[in-house]
Every structure is written in C-alpha cells, then in structure tokens.
Amino acid sequence: QAEDGNIEYKLKLVNPSQYRFEHLVTQMKWRLQEGRGEAVYQIGVEDNGLLVGLSEEEMRASLKTLRRMAEKVGADITVLREREVDYDSDVPRKITEVLVRKVPDNQQFLDLRVAVLGNVDSGKSTLLGVLTQGELDNGRGRARLNLFRHLHEIQSGRTSSISFEILGFNSKGEVVNYSDSRTAEEICESSSKMITFIDLAGHHKYLKTTIFGLTSYCPDFAMLVVSANTGIAGTTREHLGLAMALKVPFFIVISKVDLCSKATVERTVKQLERILKQPGCNKLPLLVNSDDDAVTAAQQFAQSPNITPIFTLSSVSGENLDLLKVFLNILPPLTNSKEQEELMQQLTEFQVDEIYTVPEVGTVVGGTLSSGICREGENLVVGPTDDGKFLRLKVCSIQRNRSACRVLRAGQAATLALGPFDRSLLRKGMVMVSPEMNPTICSVFEAEIVLLFHATTFRKGFQVTVHVGNVRQTAIVEKIHGKDKLRTGEKAVVRFRFIKHPEYLKVGAKLLFREGVTKGIGHVTDLQAITTKENGLEESLGPGQLSF
C-alpha cells in the first residue's frame, strides 16, 4: 500500500480503543489532505492488497466506526460499491469501497476543469446541456440552446466560442445542477465538488479557438466526444492529437447510441480501440458497462494516464448517462496537495485569457492564476504592452464561478475586476504579476520542435502562428540549428521571432504552432530576454489609469 495517495486499505475497524481511534482519525486527515479533500477507503483488504473480505456483522461494525471517524473530521461518506470475495469459508464475505469527502477549510469546493473535444456535430454541447440542465434532449438540439453565447451559434447549431458550464456534486455524491438550483451561486453553495466543462468548438474553421482553450485554460482532463453513427471523422483525430501533444489525460464518450444498432456502436468502439492501441498513442482502452466499471475506471485513470475509459451513452434516451456521472463524481484531482502548496508559495502570476467591460464595474479580466495567491485590493503589474512595458493596476474584486471570493489560490480560474483601468491597454496573452517579480519578456526565443505535418519543407523565413499557454502570435522562423530545412516528422531546435510585440514566456513551456496545414509541437528551450531597464515600470500615469 502506498504511503502517499488517497487510497487506504483497512482489514477491519471493529470497536477500536480510544487511542487507536484517534490514530485512525489522524490517518484519515492525512489521506484527505493527499487527495485534496477526497479519499477512498477499501475495507476488507489487507495492507499488501490481499482481498480477505469481512462477514456481514464485522462489515456493519467497521462501517459504523468509519462513520464515527468521518464525523470527527467533518467529512461525508458514500459507499461506492460492495463485492463478494471467493474465500474458503461457508459465510459470504464482502469488500466495501467507501468514498470520504470533505471540502478543505480554505476553499468552497473541490474544482476540476474538463475540456470537451470532438468533431463537429458529435453532440458535445447537447451532452453538456443534458448533464448541466438535468433534462434529456428531444433529439432536435433543445438541450444545447442554453449553452450558446451568440445568435449565429443558435442559428447554425455550431459552437464557435468557448463557453463554460458547471456541474456540481454534493458531499453524498448526488448531482447538483440547474434542474433544482436556479443560479450558479446556488450550485456553488450546495456542492462540495465542482466540475467546470470547457465547451470547445468542433468545426475545423474554429481550430484556433479550440487550441486556445486547451493551452490557456489548463484543463485537468479532456473528454473526447465521438458520435456512434459517424465514427472517427473530421477533426476527431486532430483533437485526439492535440490532447496527446499537450499531455492532457483524456477519456472518450461515444454519443448518439440511440440512433444506431448495437453492431454500429461496436464497430465505432473497435475503431477507437484500434487507434488508441497504435504505437503513437499507446493507450489502454477500458469500456465502461456498469457502475463497478465506472468506479474502477476513475481510480485507474487517475493513477496511470495510459488508461482511457470509453463510455457509450445517449443524450436523448439517457442510456448510461449515470455511469458518466458516477465516473465524474469519483474522478480525483491530478496534483496532490504538496505540489499545490509549492505553487502557492511562489510569486503571483495571473494569465489573462478574456477581457470584458461590465457596466458599473469597469474592466474585468478572466483567466487562471498559475502561481501564488491573489487577494482583493492587491497591487499588481500587467504587461507586456506593445512596447514591452508593464503597467500598475489594482485588483478591486474577485469572482469564481459567478460568486464572490476574497482569495484566489494557484491553479484556480477566476475573473478579476480592475475598476477604471483602460481596457484598450489589455489584450489576451498578457500576464499580471506581483511588482517584485521582475518578469522576463522576449521577442526572440528558441524552442525544440517536432514537425508533425507539412506540405513542403519548413525553412528559414517561414511564418507560423505560435501558441504558448495563453500567448498566441505570428512568429518568423529565424534559424534552424544544424539544418537548412525540416521535413515532416523531424526534430530540431528553431529560433523564432515574434512579429508584433514581445511576450512573457517561460523556459520549458509547451508550444504548438500552425499555419494552414503545417502543424508542430515542442517546448521553449531558451529566451533572449529584453532587459528590464528598457521596459521599466511606466511611471507617468495617463488620465485613464489609477494613481497611487
């Protein structure tokens, strides 16, 4: 049994002494901290993983003790599954798996971000509509109307922008969605685990929006939706490739199974399994057919990213939707508490992904806090501007999932209100950092890249659109080290120069570039920093900015 991780094996917990009980409670606190508020207890299992099982009576007593322990910690308990063990005895023996959940004291809920990928018309928005609104679709796209943000999306039925949808689970593992709560605030208040779905566009035309969603919103997992009647078509392979390139663990949902025969569904499943087992993917497909499978899938998936669960469901008949909900309910966060604490001790850095103007509030920016802690009323600097400067600003208020929040921690997404700050000075791809960070910005950088696909040869002077995190800008290839040109599948270190303005980059950041059919991935290896004396903080404050 592993010391770290959030799974605990217990043989039995029958009438422990007071001292032993205190020890068990401390152990439960540690497991909950490791899983950031979630732990799984397997009762009837020895520490070495041997499935012994308990008789009915012992199991009842053990569960009672476990409830007492959870009450002491302030957690809730749900039984995930029970199964009988074939052991050499006449009495039937059982193993029980229990989910213990407690929301950490310093946050309102556990938070997971899931990006939703898949070809156009595979049923992504409809599936999200059914999950978050709590009513089935009528087969004509009624469920997705609430998700669309623009009129042209409603008319064409295609998502072109990135929209966020939330699905909550309360501490007993029941779904909290818009069917019983009117507003997002109500969902936030009554749920202990929130899953934010990032609904991305499937159409090829909106590929840059999809890449932006995957690189800048840092999803924990991706859900690839494949329609059962069309199989793997259009952008499906590309989206699969994007998830693999950005190392986002993904699971697959085969939708629309009510439209076609069993044989067709099986054919699509086989097609997917074949692709997943290819040497490029090296994944282990796991078809989920029962609640038991869903529990196994969630635990295995979090432990080894090579396993890819596959769900077959229908948004119209509601078939197998519950299995997906069970899976999402148990899905643990990827980073453990230690990594998050290390991130929180660094200096503040907030990525700007979206910019709005809200009446009576002023300028509002949305994005993710990649490190540090951000509080209301904090003074930060934002940049780089077109001439490479950083401007001072003050965070007036913070909102997470549409409800106010005083403190923002590393890895959380939120919107920050900046008051009367001039919106025209901001753009996507900027960062807000604490003034003492002395951020490095660069126009010229080097990256080790792999050319995935290119029609002709890739050479000096070529222009590509580069995506690094939330930065996207056209760059020119200045030099390819050690070679004159690159062909498909070749690796090299390349020097790029941004065309318009300097950007804030970090060494080691993942990089994606594209131009027409040219695509490549890689990571930043070296930056030619512009010294900060040249881009010193803007002291002369214009009329539109706050003066301190």
- Which range of residues forms the domain containing residue 189? 110-334
- The arithmetic mean of pLDDT across residues 363-390, rounded, is 90
DSSP class of residue 531 equals P
- Domain annotation covers residue 49: yes
Domain CATH number, residue 465: 2.40.30.10
Q: Are residues 238 and 257 in the same domain?
A: yes
Q: Are residues 68 and 86 in the same domain?
A: yes
- 87 vs 513, higher pLDDT: 513
Per-residue pLDDT tens for 119-138? 888 888 889 888 888 888 88
- Domain annotation covers residue 125: yes
Q: Quick count: other Cβ atoms within 10 Å of Cβ 280?
A: 10
Domain CATH number, residue 250: 3.40.50.300
CA pair distance 161, 181, nearest whole angstrom: 25
- Provide the token pair at 410: 């590393």
The amino acid that residue 45 corresponds to is V
Q: Are residues 173 and 197 in the same domain?
A: yes
- Domain annotation covers residue 405: yes
- Domain annotation covers residue 196: yes
Q: Are residues 449 and 351 in the same domain?
A: no
- The arithmetic mean of pLDDT across residues 198-214, rounded, is 81
Q: Are residues 94 and 189 in the same domain?
A: no
Residue 543: pLDDT band (50, 70, 90) is: very low
Q: How many domains does the chain have?
A: 4
- How far from 55 is each of 27, 41, 46, 79, CA to CA, in Å? 25, 17, 15, 17
Q: Are residues 197 and 268 in the same domain?
A: yes
- Domain annotation covers residue 546: no
Per-residue pLDDT tens for 458-502? 889 999 999 998 898 999 999 999 888 888 888 899 999 999 999
The mean predicted confidence, pLDDT, of the chain is: 85
Q: Are residues 222 and 130 in the same domain?
A: yes
Q: Are residues 22 and 163 in the same domain?
A: no
Domain edge (last residue) among 334, 368, 387: 334
DSSP class of residue 45 equals B
Q: Are residues 125 and 14 in the same domain?
A: no
Q: Are residues 212 and 96 in the same domain?
A: no
- Domain annotation covers residue 537: no
Per-residue pLDDT tens for 425-452? 998 889 999 988 878 889 999 999 988 7
Query: What pLDDT is recorded for position 546?
Result: 40
Residue 538: pLDDT band (50, 70, 90) is: very low
Domain edge (last residue) among 390, 412, 433: 433
Domain edge (last residue) among 334, 368, 389: 334
Does 273 score more than 50 pLDDT? yes
- How far from 177 is each of 34, 191, 318, CA to CA, in Å? 28, 9, 16
Query: What pLDDT is recorded for position 532?
Result: 53
Query: What pLDDT is recorded for position 337?
Result: 67
The contacts of residue 17 (CB under 8 Å, 6+ apart) are none
- Domain annotation covers residue 329: yes
Residue 533: pLDDT band (50, 70, 90) is: very low
- Provide the token pair at 75: 């957690």
Does 536 score more than 50 pLDDT? no
Query: What pLDDT is recorded for position 159?
Result: 59
Q: Are residues 292 and 157 in the same domain?
A: yes
- Domain annotation covers residue 325: yes
Q: For the purposes of burial, counting CB atoms within 10 Å of the CB of 297, is it exposed (0-12), middle (13-18) or buried (19 or more)?
A: buried
Per-residue pLDDT tens for 58-81? 999 999 999 999 999 989 899 988
Q: Are residues 140 and 200 in the same domain?
A: yes
DSSP SS3 for 108: coil
The contacts of residue 294 (CB under 8 Å, 6+ apart) are 288, 309, 323, 324, 326, 327, 330
Q: For the purposes of burial, counting CB atoms within 10 Å of the CB of 127, is it exposed (0-12), middle (13-18) or buried (19 or more)?
A: buried
